[in-house]
Every structure is written in C-alpha cells, then in structure tokens.
C-alpha cells in the first residue's frame, strides 16, 4: 500500500518521521529499483519462487529464551496425554481428555459438560485477550516464541543444521548438483522430518482417547479410521508447513501479521534497527581510515543471516518480522567484537526511538511494559480467569430441568382428576451414582406424582430416583391433581440424598381445563 502524498510515513497521531533515512538506498525490490533508473528493464514476473532461508546458528539471551520456550511447549504437548489422574471407577483416569463420544472434557480436577461450553468459550476469550496483552506490551512475541508454526519451524531448522551443517554448508549443498550423496542426505533429513511430523500428529489424537490404549490399538491397526485420518493429515501438514513452507505461512497464510499491525502503537516494543546510530553503513576498513564518518552498522549482514524468515530488519518493521530477536543476539555479538555499544538492533518502542533520536539517553526497554493499556488488558484477562475459577469452584453438581408436555397440555382422567406429564432431566455431575429426591412444591393438598418407572400405585408427593454417575437421567413424570382442585404454577425440587444435600428447583406450570395454555 502506498499513499500518493509524499508524506507517507505519518503513523496515527505520531509526528511525521523521516523514515527515508531508515531505508536502504536500493529498495526491497531490486527490479523496481532498476526500473526507476532504467525504464527499459523488463517488468517483474507475476510469480516468484520461494527463496530458501538458511538461517545461521547464533547464541545469545534471546536464542536461549527461544530454546527454553521450545522445550517447555513441546514437552507440554507431548507429555500431557500421558499424565494420569484418578477420578474413581466411573470416569476415565487421563488428566487431560476431550471425550467426544461421551461429550465430556476433563482437565485435572475440572470436568466440563457440553452445557458448560461457556468455560471453553471463556478460555478462548482469555487466549484472545492474552494475545492482545502480549502484543500491546511486547509486539509479536507470540509469533516469535510461542506460535506452533514458529516452534516447529525452529525445530526443523535445527534438524537442517544437524544433518547439513550451518548456513554456508547448506547454501553450498542447495547449489550442488543432485548426486547419490546429496539424495542420501536429503532422504535422511526428510525421514527425520517425517518422524517428527508423525510424533506431532500422533500426539494430537492422544488428547481424544485413553493414551496407552490408543497407542496400542494404533499400532495393532485396531484404532478407528478417524484416528488414522487425523494422524495422516496432521503428519502431512507438519511435514509440509514446518519442513518446506515455513516463513511462507507467516507471510502469506496467517492473518496474525496483518492484525498485529493494527494492534501496535508507538508504545509497543518492536525489534528496531536504530538507523540514527547505524547509518550511513561502512565497513570496518573504512572506519579505520576515516573514523567518525560512518555509523555503527558495518553491513556485516549477520542480522539477515540469522533471521528465520530471511528478512533485513534494517528496513524497519515489516510483515515478515516475527519479533524473535535473533538479530539482536547476532548484532550484539558483532558490536561486542568490534568494541561498540550493544543495542544497534534492539527491542524499543517508537516513542523511545523518538526520544533517542532527539538526543536523550536511551531508556531501558522493559519500561515500555509499564503502561495503562497493559495493566487494563491484564486486569480484564485476570478478572475473566478469576471469575471462571470461582464459577468452577462453586457450581452445583446437581441440576434439574423440566419441560412440560405441550401435546396434550393436560389429561382428564376417569375420576375427574387432571394429569400433566413432564420430562425431567436430572443431572448428576459427580463420578458416582447418587440417590435423589424429586418433590412437588406449591401444589394443593392431594396432588401426587409418579414416574415412568414408579407406577401409579406408588404415587406420592415425592419420589426417589437413582441417577447414574456422570449422567443426566431423563425421567418422565406424571402429576395428578384431584377432581375439583385448581392448580397453576408450581415447582419440582430436586435434592441429592447425600451429605451435600444439593438442591435445585425448577418452576413449571400445571395445565387444566380452567387455564388451558
């Protein structure tokens, strides 16, 4: 996008900046740059091949942070299904289980039923707000550290390095003609890719069934077709997206880079090249000859070499930058070697950059975290979490819903009494069978009830029903009011006959010839 005004770089209400200095003299598109000076150059192609990214190995604080997050996230992903959690004889003993067949979601001590899907919705809202929180504070940290695409791409790039060596060796191998050695190497590498992909797809299905059983069935070829299909699809997507598409996913497929552009403001931390310090670029040789003429950037291209998406951060914020900060590690290392201060490429906000350009001393990056927006997001996020925990902790394990039969609304019996039928749903959310009492509340004297299992001869004002563990029992109840007695609205009261004595009351109506609905 461009704005035809020459003052293109104004961002929101931020003062107009002179970004031209941050731009390399040659544009991002060498063909276009050539055509600027020489119109006879042929126009660019409609399509272009992906340029392979061979990112160089680098060590530094951010790289170590990435390692740590990768280990933690992958461990969580692969280990979680194997955790056991004893829930007694009536419920599965897997700590985290999405039991689609029985429509239950287990997570340690929490068990969620379909009608409580709002807890899952709440988790999704928390994830969304958490993303806003992180983005407003530290920019695209999600992309750079925690996104599965990033984590697996990183993993596959380490596989590349392990099999083919570091950047230069891989570039050489890419250019080398196909021969037995290269084919063997490639097949070896791709088989490692495939193994990782299989493990990834395989771990996914373990969340939906009992992990040890499923693994046994899976290899005995006795698992359900949907399990094999899921593993197949996820293996393929991991292999293809992590092994070959990589940064293309971020640049062309994922909506997040576009959204985050709208969520950053001048107070958000981004990975920034401090052009006022770096430009004009000059080699070390030139600096020796003519000290003070050039900036700190010696154009060593290490920042480009380590970048997992292969961009040049010195061109400013761009869609391809996932804010993984590996270029910071690389640049800091170079600056240390040539004895210049670190932070030529660094986490900074636009505001901090403004201040630095105006000659103020640099502020530490972490100060950018302390701002109202971050606290408000965090407050909302935490409030939802606390509210959900509260709701989970205080919810009743006993629930009653009543739906009166509407067709016919009432039945006149031989003796002139009026009968209504109701469908009651008694929910027992505990992992043990429980006895419950259903009682009529607010009906005149003489009203009795019986159910589909408790015959008319045992009709009374209340009935005892056993509800199986972890189930909703459907009971058809009949309520009869004697001849000549009028009744209108009343309630069913459900009481659990155990030490908890949980109660739930559901109001409903009694239809008769006098008050036909």
Partner 1 sequence: MSDKSRENARIDEPTGTELVGHEWDGIEELNTPLPRWWLWTFYATIAWSLVYVVLYPAWPLVERATEGVLGWSSRGELAEEMSAADLARRSVYEQIAATDITKLPANPELMGQAIAGGAAAFKQHCVQCHGAGAAGYEQYGYPNLNDDDWIWGGELAEIEYTLTHGIRWGGSRQTRQAYMPPFEGALEKPQVDALVNHVLSLSGKGQSSTEGVQLFAQNCAACHQPDGSGDQLQGAPALNDAIWLYGGEAANIRAQILNPRHGVMPGWSDKLDPVTIKMLAAYVHSRGGGESAEEGTEEVASDAEAVAEAPEGGDDERL
Site for partner 1 in 324-363 (CB under 8 A): none
> What CA–CA distance (Å, rounded) separates 262 from 126?
20
Minimum CB distance to partner 1, residue 21 (Å): 12
Q: Note whether 227 and 214 are within 8 A (CB).
A: yes
Q: Which one of residues 146, 245, 355, 365 is an interface residue with partner 1 (CB under 8 A)?
A: 245
Site for partner 1 in 48-87 (CB under 8 A): 48-50
- Give ∠ CA 270-272-276 in degrees, rounded to 5: 145
Instruction: Check binding of 452 to partner 1 (CB under 8 A).
Output: yes
Kindly tell me which of 439 and 459 has the beta carbon lying closer to partner 1.
459
Minimum CB distance to partner 1, residue 5 (Å): 7
**Locus of tokens 């670190």:** 342
H or E segment to which residue 494 belongs: strand 489-496
Kindly tell me which of 423 and 503 has the beta carbon lying closer to partner 1.
423
Instruction: Check binding of 5 to partner 1 (CB under 8 A).
Output: yes
Instruction: Check binding of 9 to partner 1 (CB under 8 A).
Output: yes
Instruction: Check binding of 208 to partner 1 (CB under 8 A).
Output: no
Lay out the site mask for partner 1 across 403-432 (x = CB under 8 A, - = otherwise).
Answer: x-xxxx--xxxxxx--x-x-x-x-x-----
Kindly tell me which of 21 and 184 has the beta carbon lying closer to partner 1.
21
Minimum CB distance to partner 1, residue 111 (Å): 10
Minimum CB distance to partner 1, residue 138 (Å): 26
Site for partner 1 in 114-143 (CB under 8 A): 114-115
Kindly tell me which of 167 and 473 has the beta carbon lying closer to partner 1.
473
> What CA–CA distance (Å, rounded) separates 140 from 53?
20
Q: In the numeric block, which tokens belong to residue 178? A: 């196909």
Query: Virtual CA dihedral for 134, 135, 141, 146, nearest 10 degrees?
Result: 60
Site for partner 1 in 10-29 (CB under 8 A): 19, 23, 26-29
Q: Which one of residues 72, 259, 474, 497 is an interface residue with partner 1 (CB under 8 A)?
A: 474
Q: Note whether 349 and 267 are within 8 A (CB).
A: yes
Name which of 494, 465, 464 is nearest 402 in CA terms. Answer: 494
Stretch that binds partner 1, among 218-226, 257-265, 326-334, 467-475 (CB under 8 A): 467-475
Kindly tell me which of 33 and 198 has the beta carbon lying closer to partner 1.
33
Q: Which one of residues 289, 336, 342, 456 is an interface residue with partner 1 (CB under 8 A)?
A: 456
CB contact set of 109 (below 8 Å; sequence gap of 6+) = 85
**Strand-pair category, 448-451 with 462-467:** unpaired
Instruction: Check binding of 395 to partner 1 (CB under 8 A).
Output: no
Minimum CB distance to partner 1, residue 296 (Å): 24
Strand partners, 421: 478
Q: In the numeric block, which tokens belong to residue 226? A: 């949907």
CB contact set of 221 (below 8 Å; sequence gap of 6+) = none
Q: Which one of residues 47, 175, 221, 370 is an interface residue with partner 1 (CB under 8 A)?
A: 47
Three-state DSSP string of 402-448: EEECCCCCCEECCCCCEEEEEEEEEEECCCCCEEEEEEEECCCCCCE
Query: Virtual CA dihedral for 463, 466, 470, 471, nearest 10 degrees?
Result: -60
**Locus of tokens 């083919």:** 164
Minimum CB distance to partner 1, residue 266 (Å): 18
Q: Which one of residues 3, 220, 221, 358 is an interface residue with partner 1 (CB under 8 A)?
A: 3
CB contact set of 356 (below 8 Å; sequence gap of 6+) = 274, 276, 348, 362
Minimum CB distance to partner 1, residue 414 (Å): 4
Kindly tell me which of 166 and 315 has the beta carbon lying closer to partner 1.
315
Minimum CB distance to partner 1, residue 282 (Å): 22
Handedness of CA 424, 427, 433, 438 (dihedral sign): negative
Instruction: Check binding of 364 to partner 1 (CB under 8 A).
Output: no
**Strand-pair category, 96-99 with 104-107:** antiparallel
Q: Which one of residues 108, 236, 252, 390 is an interface residue with partner 1 (CB under 8 A)?
A: 252
Q: Which one of residues 103, 158, 172, 367 is an interface residue with partner 1 (CB under 8 A)?
A: 103
Kindly tell me which of 129 and 311 has the beta carbon lying closer to partner 1.
311
Stretch that binds partner 1, among 282-290, 348-356, 364-372, 397-405 (CB under 8 A): 397-405
């Amino acid at each position: 996008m461009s704005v035809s005004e020459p003052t293109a770089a104004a961002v929101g209400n931020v003062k107009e900046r002179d970004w031209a200095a941050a731009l390399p003299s040659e544009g991002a598109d060498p063909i276009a740059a050539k055509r600027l000076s020489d119109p006879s150059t042929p126009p660019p192609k409609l399509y272009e091949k992906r340029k392979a990214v061979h990112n160089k190995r680098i060590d530094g604080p951010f790289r170590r942070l990435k390692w740590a997050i990768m280990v933690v996230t992958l461990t969580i992903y692969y280990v979680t299904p194997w955790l056991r959690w004893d829930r007694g004889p009536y419920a599965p003993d897997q700590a985290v289980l999405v039991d689609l067949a029985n429509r239950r979601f287990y997570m340690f001590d929490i068990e969620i039923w379909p009608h409580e899907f709002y807890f899952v919705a709440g988790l999704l809202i928390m994830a969304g707000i958490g993303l806003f929180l992180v983005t407003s504070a530290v920019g695209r940290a999600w992309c750079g550290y925690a996104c599965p695409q990033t984590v697996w791409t990183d993993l596959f790039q380490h596989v590349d390095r392990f099999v083919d060596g570091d950047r230069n060796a891989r570039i050489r191998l890419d250019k080398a003609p196909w021969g037995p050695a290269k084919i063997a190497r490639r097949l070896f590498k791709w088989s490692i890719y495939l193994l990782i992909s299989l493990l990834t797809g395989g771990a996914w299905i373990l969340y939906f069934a009992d992990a040890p059983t499923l693994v046994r069935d899976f290899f005995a070829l006795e698992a359900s077709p949907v399990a094999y299909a899921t593993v197949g699809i996820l293996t393929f997507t991991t292999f293809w997206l992590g092994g070959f598409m990589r940064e293309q996913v971020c640049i062309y497929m994922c909506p997040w880079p576009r959204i985050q552009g709208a969520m950053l403001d001048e107070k958000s931390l981004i990975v920034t090249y401090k052009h006022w310090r770096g430009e004009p670029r000059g080699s070390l040789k030139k600096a020796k000859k003519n000290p003070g003429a050039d900036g700190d950037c010696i154009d060593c291209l290490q920042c480009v070499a380590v970048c997992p998406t292969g961009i040049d951060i010195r061109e400013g914020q761009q869609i391809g930058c996932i804010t993984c900060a590996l270029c910071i590690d690389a640049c800091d290392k170079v600056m240390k070697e040539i004895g210049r201060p670190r932070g030529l490429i660094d986490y900074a906000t636009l505001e901090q950059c403004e201040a630095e350009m105006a000659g103020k001393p640099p502020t530490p990056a972490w100060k950018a975290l302390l701002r109202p927006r971050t606290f408000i997001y965090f407050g909302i996020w935490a409030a939802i979490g606390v509210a959900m925990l509260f709701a989970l902790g205080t919810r009743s394990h006993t629930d009653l819903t009543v739906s009166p039969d509407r067709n016919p609304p009432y039945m006149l019996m031989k003796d002139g009494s009026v009968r209504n039928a109701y469908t009651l749903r008694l929910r027992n959310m505990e992992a043990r069978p429980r006895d419950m009492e259903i009682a009529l509340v607010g009906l005149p004297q003489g009203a009795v009830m019986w159910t589909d299992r408790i015959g008319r001869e045992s009709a009374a004002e209340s009935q005892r029903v056993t509800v199986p563990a972890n189930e909703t029992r459907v009971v058809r109840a009949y309520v009869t009011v004697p001849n000549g007695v009028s009744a209108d609205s009343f309630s069913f009261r459900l009481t659990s006959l155990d030490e908890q004595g949980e109660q739930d009351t559901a109001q409903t109506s009694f239809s008769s010839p006098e008050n036909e609905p």
